[in-house]
């Protein structure tokens, strides 16, 4: 019995400051720091890898959409001409289900830092950058609305977007809560 107690005491002593166990932990920590530093230096010295251009991710426009050709120079227009507003380019089309934020979410902060307010034309998407404009079409009634992404979600697998109150109202989906939609990501 005395022998077992001596072994236990020996282990406990090894983790005291300056003990053998503490020295082993310090050595392992030092090795990890050296490896991390070597990796940082290696990455800093390596040539930069070019990121893919936006054109590689562009999707062909949906049938029937008139998308201007950006390779052609635009003709000069008067400043007050309503056609002078920039046209949106269609970048991606996705079909899925949309839901909307209920009143319990009003006043809460979104992932972008904004407060969710009743009547706003904003939405949540899992991956699109904040500020991205998306045209949402209710496939049950054909109504459309353009929203700005300012939050993350939805957190149900079959849903592709969560709409704020104003957007859901425009699409007339308040009663159903969830409708099939087509998302068109705009430039």
Whether pLDDT at 155 is above 70: yes
Mean pLDDT of 47-72: 47
What integer pLDDT is reported at residue 72 of this predicted model? 46
Q: Is residue 83 part of a domain?
A: no
Interval 126-153 mean pLDDT:
96
Q: In whole angstroms, what is the distance from residue 137 CA to residue 147 CA?
A: 11
Show the domain range for 10. 6-45
Within a domain: 66: no
Instruction: Indicate whether 17 pLDDT > 70.
Output: no
Please check whether residues 102 and 171 belong to one and the same domain. Answer: yes
| Pair (36, 96) in one structural domain | no
CATH number at residue 107: 2.40.40.10
**What is the pLDDT, as a whole number, of residue 48?**
54
Q: In the chain, pLDDT over 70 holds for what percent of residues?
A: 56
Structure confidence at residue 36 (pLDDT): 74
Q: Quote the DSSP letter at residue 100.
A: E
Residue-level pLDDT at 33: 75
pLDDT above 90 for 137: yes
pLDDT at 11: 52
Q: Across residues 49-69, what is the average pLDDT? A: 46
User: Confidence class of residue 54 from pLDDT cuts 50, 70 and 90?
Assistant: very low
Assess whether pLDDT exceeds 80 at residue 142.
yes
Number of domains in the chain: 2
72 domain residue, yes or no? no
70 found inside a domain: no
My answer on whether 100 and 27 are in the same domain is no
Do 24 and 98 fall into the same domain?
A: no
168 lies in a domain?
yes
Q: Is the pLDDT confidence value at 180 over 70?
A: yes
Same domain, 96 and 165: yes
Residue 18, phi-psi category: left (phi > 0), alpha (psi -120 to 50), beta (remainder): left
Read off the pLDDT of residues 87-104 as tens digits, 9 standing for 90 and up: 567 788 999 999 998 888
Task: Report how far residue 176's alpha carbon sits from residue 187's, in angstroms, rounded to the nearest whole number.
Answer: 30
Domain co-membership, 30 together with 118: no
Residues, the chain, total? 187
């Amino acid at each position: 019995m005395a022998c077992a107690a001596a072994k236990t005491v020996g282990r406990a002593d090894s983790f005291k400051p300056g003990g053998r166990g503490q020295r082993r932990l310090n050595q392992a920590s030092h090795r990890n720091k050296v490896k991390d530093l070597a990796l940082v230096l290696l990455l800093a010295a390596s040539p930069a890898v070019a990121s893919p251009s936006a054109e590689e991710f562009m999707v062909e426009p949906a049938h029937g959409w008139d998308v201007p050709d950006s390779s052609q120079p635009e003709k000069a227009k008067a400043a007050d001409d309503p056609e002078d507003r920039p046209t949106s380019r269609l970048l991606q089309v996705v079909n899925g289900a949309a839901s909307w934020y209920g009143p319990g979410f009003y006043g809460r902060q979104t992932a972008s830092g904004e407060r969710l307010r009743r009547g706003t034309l904003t939405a949540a998407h899992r991956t699109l950058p904040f500020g991205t404009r998306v045209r949402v079409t209710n496939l049950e009634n054909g109504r459309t609305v353009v929203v700005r992404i300012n939050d993350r979600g939805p957190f149900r697998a079959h849903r592709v977007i969560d709409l704020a109150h104003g957007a859901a109202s425009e699409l007339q989906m308040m009663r159903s809560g969830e409708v099939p939609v087509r998302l068109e990501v705009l430039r």
